Structure 1
Amino acid sequence: MAITGVKTLVVNAEMRNWIFVKIETDQDGLFGWGEASLNWKTRAVTGAVEDLAPLILGRDPRDIEQIVRVLKKHSYYRLGIIGATAISGIEHALWDIFGKSVGLPVWRLLGGQTRDKVRVYTHLGLGDMKSVYETFDPGALRDKALAVVEKGYDALKVVFIPYSGHSVGIGARRHVGRLMKTLREAVGDDVDIMIDFHGRPASTAVALQFIEELAPYGPMFCEEPVQPGDTEALRIVTERAGCPIASGERLVGFEEFEPLFRQNALHIIQPDLNHTGGILEGKRIAAAADQAMMGVAPHNPNGPIAGAAALHFDVATPNFVIQEEMSGAVPWYDDVVRVPMRRTGSYWAVPEAPGLGVEIDEREAAKHPFVPEVFHTKGAVLPDGTIVDW
Structure 2
Amino acid sequence: MKITRVKTIVVNAEMRNWIFVKVETNQDGLYGWGEASLNWKTRAVTGCIEDLEPLLIGHDPRDIELILQVLNKHSYYRLGIIGATAISGIEHALWDIAGKSAGLPVWRLLGGKTRDYVPLYTHLGLGDMKSVYETFDPAPLRDNALRVIEQGYNALKVVFIPYSHYMVDRAARRRVEELMKTLRDAVGENIAIMVDFHGRPASISVALQYIEALAPFDPYFIEEPVQPGDPEAMRLITERAPCPVAAGERLIGYKEFEPLLQNRGVHILQPDLNHTGGLLEGKKIAAAAEEVMIGIAPHNPNGPIAGAAALHFAISTPNFVIQEEMSGAVPWYDDVVSAPMKREGSNWLIPDVVGFGVEINESEAAKHPFKPEVFHSRTAVLDDGTIVDW
Instruction: Tell me the TM-score range normalised by the shorter chain.
Output: over 0.9
Aligned equivalent of 2:110: 110
> Which amino acid counterpart does residue 37 of structure 1 have in structure 2?
S
Provide TM-score, normalisation by structure 2: 1.00
What secondary structure is seen at the aligned counterpart in 1 of 2:190? coil
Per the TM alignment, residue 141 of structure 1 is displaced from its structure 2 partner at its CA by: 0.9
Letter of the 1:216 partner, please give it. P
Q: Per-residue CA shift, 1:98-144, capped at 9, x if unaligned?
A: 00001100000000000000001000011101100111111111111
Aligned-partner SS, 1:39: coil
3-state DSSP class of the match of 1:370? Answer: coil
CA distance in 2, matches of 1:140, 1:26: 53
Deviations 1:335-384 (Å, cap 9, x if unpaired)?
00010000000000001110000000000000001111110012201111
Specify the alignment match of 1:333 in structure 2: 333
Counterpart residue number, 1:45: 45
Q: In structure 1, how many angstroms separate the alpha carbons of the residues matched to 2:63 and 2:235?
A: 38
Residue 259, structure 1, aligned to residue 262, structure 2? no
Is 1:301 aligned to 2:301, yes or no?
Answer: yes
In the alignment, what sits opposite 1:131?
Answer: 131
- Write the letter of the residue equivalent to 2:368: H
Aligned-partner Cα distance in 1 for 2:375–2:382: 17
**1:219 corresponds to 2:213:** no
Which residue of structure 1 aligns with residue 168 of structure 2? 168
Name the counterpart of 1:247.
Answer: 247
Q: Report whether the alignment pairs 1:34 with 2:30.
A: no
Match of 2:366 in 1: 366
1:288 and 1:218 map into 2 onto residues whose CA distance is 28
**Cα displacement string for residues 218-268 of structure 1 (whole angstroms, at most 9, x for unaligned residues):** 101000000000101111100000000000000000000000000110000
State the SS of the aligned residue for 2:377. coil
1:352 to 2:328 alignment: no
In the alignment, the residues of structure 2 paired with residue 368 and residue 145 of structure 1 have an alpha-carbon distance, to the nearest angstrom, of 29
Distance 1:190 1:325 in 2: 20
Q: Which residue identity does 2:314 align to in structure 1? A: D
Q: CA deviation at 1:147?
A: 0.6
CA distance in 2, matches of 1:136, 1:380: 13
Give deviations 1:43-62, integer Å, cap 9, x for gaps: 00000000001001000000
DSSP-derived class of the 2:260 partner: helix
Find the residue that maps to 1:372 and give its secondary structure: coil
CA distance in 2, matches of 1:226, 1:191: 25
Q: What residue is the counterpart of 2:60 in the other structure? A: 60
Question: What's 2:274 paired with?
Answer: 274
Secondary structure at 1:205 match in 2: helix
Distance in 2 (CA, whole Å) between partners of 1:186 and 1:94 is: 44
- For 1:232 and 1:259, the matched residues in 2 are separated by 9
| Partner-residue secondary structure (3-state), 1:306 | helix
CA RMSD of aligned residues (A): 0.5
Residue type of the partner of 2:358? V
Q: Aligned AA for 2:289? A: A
3-state SS of paired residue (1:377): helix
Partner of 2:71: 71
- Matched letter for residue 330 of structure 1: V
In the alignment, what sits opposite 2:91? 91
Match of 2:120 in 1: 120
Q: Normalized against structure 1, the TM-score is what? A: 1.00
Amino acid at match of 2:230: D
Residues 310-350 of structure 1, C-alpha deviation per residue, up to 9 Å, x if partnerless?
00000000000000000001110000001000000000000
* Secondary structure of 1:37 counterpart: coil
* SS across alignment from 2:18: strand
Partner Cα separation in structure 2 for residue 225 and residue 351 of structure 1: 35
Paired residues, number:
390
- Mean Cα deviation higher: 180-189 or 205-214: 180-189
* Amino acid across the alignment from 1:129: M
Kindly provide the CA deviation profile for residues 265-306 of structure 1, in whole angstroms up to 9, marking residues without a partner as x: 000000000000000100000000101100000000000000
The aligned residue for residue 319 of structure 1 is 319
Distance 2:75 2:36 in 1: 18
Corresponding position of 1:232: 232
Structure 2 CA distance, aligned partners of 1:193 and 1:296? 17
Which residue number in structure 2 is paired with residue 377 of structure 1?
Answer: 377
Specify the SS of the correspondent of 2:119.
Answer: strand
Per-residue deviation at 1:189?
Answer: 1.1
Question: What do residues 56-113 of structure 1 show as CA deviations (whole Å, max 9, x unaligned)?
Answer: 1000000000001100000000110000000000000000000000110000000000
Give, as a single letter, the amino acid of the residue that structure 1 aligns with 2:62.
R
Uncovered stretches (5+) of structure 2, i.e. residues with no partner: none
Residues in 2 aligned to 1:119 and 1:44: alpha-carbon distance in whole angstroms: 33
Counterpart in the other structure of 1:288: 288
Gaps of 5+ in 1: none
SS of residue paired to 1:378 = helix
Letter in 1 for 2:332: W
d(CA) in 1 for partners of 2:257, 2:246: 12
Q: Share of identical aligned residues, percent?
A: 75
- Please list, as runs of the form range in 1=range in 2, the aligned pairs for 1:4-19 lying within 5 A after superposition: 4-19=4-19
Matching residue's letter, 1:2: K
